[in-house]
A and B are shown apart, each in its own frame.
Chain A
Amino acid sequence: MQGASIRAANLACRRGDRLLFRRLSLELAAGDVLHVKGANGIGKSSLMRILAGLLPAYAGEVTRSGDLALMDERPGLDLDQPLGKALGFWQSVDGCTNAAHALEVLDLEPLLDVPVRYLSTGQRKRAAMASILNRGANIWLLDEPLSGLDTAAQAKFAALIQLHIGGGGICILASHQPVEIAGLKTLVLEDFAPKDAPEDAT
Chain B
Amino acid sequence: MTLTLLKRDLSRFFPFAGSGGAALPLLFFLSVAMLYPFAVGPKPELLAQTGGGVIWIAALLAAILPLERLVASDMELGVFDQLKLRGVTEEAVMAVRMVAHWISFGPMLIVASFPAAALLNLDGPTLEILLLGLLAGTPGLAAAGLMIAALTASLRGGAALSGLLLIPLCLPILIFGAGSLARGETASLGFVAAISLLLVAITPFAAGAAIKAAREG
Contacts of B5 in A (CB 8 A): 93
Interface 9-mer from A50-58, A103-111, A150-158 = A50-58
- What chain A residues lie within 8 Å of B8 (beta carbons)? 78, 89
Tell whether, in the assembled complex, residue A54 and residue B215 are in contact, meaning their CB atoms are under 8 Å apart: yes
A-B contact count (CB 8 A): 54
Are B18 and A76 in contact, with the CB atoms below 8 A?
no
A36 contacts partner chain B, Cβ-Cβ < 8 Å: no
Asked if A92 contacts B4 (CB within 8 A), the reply is yes
Stretch at the interface among A17-25, A66-74, A168-176, A180-188: A66-74
Chain B residues, CB < 8 A from A89 = 4, 8
Interface string of A96-139 (1 = CB under 8 A from B): 00000000000000000000000000000000000000010000
Could you say which interface size class chain A belongs to?
20 to 34
Q: How far is the CB of A20 from chain B (nearest CB, A)?
A: 15
Contact call B86/A79, Cβ cutoff below 8 A:
no
Asked whether, in the complex, the Cβ of B77 is within 8 Å of the Cβ of A76, the reply is: yes
Cβ contacts A to B, 20 pairs, < 8 Å: A54-B81, A54-B85, A56-B216, A68-B85, A69-B85, A72-B78, A72-B81, A73-B78, A74-B76, A74-B77, A75-B78, A76-B78, A77-B77, A78-B8, A78-B12, A78-B77, A79-B73, A90-B82, A93-B5, A93-B83
> Which B residues are within 8 Å of any A CB, using their own CB?
1, 4-5, 8, 12, 18-19, 73-74, 76-79, 81-86, 88, 215-216
